[in-house]
Amino acid sequence: MGCGPGLYARKLSDTGYDVTGIDFSRRSIAYAREHDRKTKYIYQNYLEMEYNEAFDAILLIYCDYGALIPEERKTLLSKIHRALKPNGLFIFDVFTERTHNGKSDHTYWSWNENGGFWSGKPHLSLEAEYYYQEHMAKVKKAVVVTDNTIDEYLFWDTVFSRQTLLDEVAPSGLKLHSIYDDVCGSPYSGEADTLCLVLKK
Ligand SMILES: C[S@@+](CC[C@H](N)C(=O)[O-])C[C@H]1O[C@@H](n2cnc3c(N)ncnc32)[C@H](O)[C@@H]1O
C-alpha cells in the first residue's frame, strides 16, 4: 500500500512473489506500470480498498502510517484485517519519538531558482514546523509561490513509542508477531528513529 513508483513492489515481483501495488498518485502508478510488467498496479485510495482475505502479507513502508489522522489509521487497520488471509502479516514502520527530540517550532524559507521539492518551476517556499509534544505530533506547513500560483501544504506526522503503537493497534484484532528497529529487519533496540511492527491476523 502506498507503493509509489513501485521500488519495493518490483523487487518483490522479481523475487517471485505475486504482488499488487496500490497508490493514489496517478503519476507514480503510471511510472510503476511502465517499468514493471509483473506487478498488478492499482490507482486507488487504500482507505477505500475492499479486499476480503486476498493477501498473505501487506506492506506499508516509509512511515506513511503516522501521516494519517487517528480516524484514518483505524479505518486502515480494519481494511487490512479484512484484506489479509488468516495468519497473514501486516508489516509497517513509523517514526519514533526520538525524531522529535530537541525540536521546537521554527520557520524557514528558500528561493529555488531551478525548481525543487515543491515545484518544478522557480519558486519561493515559506515553511514552518509546529510540534505538539503532548500528542506526539508535528505539522509542517509550506506556502509555495511561483510566478502564477500560491499553494499551501500541511503535512501532519505522528510519532510513536513501542507502547503507544501497540496500544493503538490492539483493538484491530491484529496480534504482534515481531518488532524491529526498521523494515530491513534490524533487531529491536528501542533506540532507533523508526520502529517496524509485524502484525499477524
Ligand atoms: C512516502 S511515499 C512512500 C512510497 C513507497 N512506499 C516507498 O517507500 O518508496 C508515500 C506514498 O503513499 C501514497 N499514499 C499516501 N496516502 C495514500 C492513500 N490514502 N491511498 C493510496 N496511496 C497513498 C503516496 O501517493 C505516496 O506514493
Q: Is residue 34 part of a domain?
A: yes
What is the structure's pLDDT at 106?
A: 97
Q: Is residue 44 part of a domain?
A: yes
Ligand 1 atom 2, closest CA = 4
What is the structure's pLDDT at 133?
A: 87
Chain segment 38-93, per-residue pLDDT in tens: 999 999 999 999 999 999 999 999 999 999 999 999 999 999 999 999 999 999 99
Taking residues 96-112, what's their average pLDDT?
94
Q: State how many domains the chain has.
A: 2
Do 116 and 80 lie in one domain? The reply is no
Ligand 1 atom 27, closest CA = 4
Best of 7, 8, 25 for a ligand 1 pocket test (most atoms within 8 Å of beta carbon): 25
Q: Is residue 170 part of a domain?
A: yes
Chain segment 116-173, per-residue pLDDT in tens: 999 999 999 999 999 998 889 999 999 999 999 999 999 999 999 999 999 999 999 9
Q: Is residue 167 part of a domain?
A: yes
Q: Is residue 1 part of a domain?
A: no
CA nearest neighbour of 149 among 168, 175, 121: 121
Q: Is residue 71 part of a domain?
A: yes
Burial of 193 (0-12, 13-18, 19+ CB in 10 A): middle
Do 147 and 63 lie in one domain? The reply is no
Taking residues 13-30, what's their average pLDDT?
97
Q: Which residues constitute the domain of residue 39?
A: 7-96+159-200
Partners of residue 142 on adjacent β-strands: 127, 153
Do 108 and 41 lie in one domain? The reply is no
Q: Is residue 89 part of a domain?
A: yes
Is the beta carbon of 62 within 6 A of some atom in ligand 1?
A: yes
